[in-house]
Structure formats: C-alpha cells, structure tokens
Amino acid sequence: MKKVKAICKNCQLFMPETNQCGIVVVHEGKHLRLPVEPNDECFYKEEWFNPITNASENFNDEVKEIRMFEDNGKVRFEEPQE
C-alpha cells in the first residue's frame, strides 16, 4: 500500500477555497479553523514550537472527536467515553 504524505492538500479535511483545515477548534466559546497552505505538514500530527511557553508541544493528547447535535434549539456537545 502506498503511504500518502501527511500534508494539507492530501487531506479530506483541507478546504482549498479558504485555505483552512476543516478541524474545528473550540477556544473560549469560539469556533476556529487553522489557516493552512496546501503543502503544509499536518499541524495536528506533528510537534510545533510554542513561543509563549518556549517549548515543543503537540495536540496528540488534546485532539478528541466530539459529537455535536441540536437539542430543543440548542447545540450540545458530547465527548467520547474514555
């Protein structure tokens, strides 16, 4: 099996019309999408340098798939069971 390089343009979550990653990050109640370029390596699988903490970090432990659904006109979030 041929291994596909983990870059944005090879990912089904890449949104070329806006150059954004389709993964939604919820931060302080706001829904954010990371701006990316087609040849960028996957930001969510690689380590990156955080200039605020002055350390290398990754999202491997933080990224979770959540279920979003509507309940009586309100949007609810459900986290996976651990």
pTM over 0.85: no
Strands, E assignment, 5-82: 14-15, 20-27, 30-35, 48-50, 55-57, 67-71, 74-78
Q: Name the residue among 75, 42, 46, 72 with its Cα closest to residue 60.
A: 46
What are 8-55's pLDDT values in tens digits?
Answer: 999 888 999 999 998 887 777 888 888 999 999 887 776 667 777 887
Domain residue limits, the chain: 8-78
Residues 6+ away with beta carbon under 8 Å from 39:
7, 8, 9
Report helix, strand or coil for 50: strand
Find out whether 75 and 68 touch, Cβ atoms under 8 Å: yes
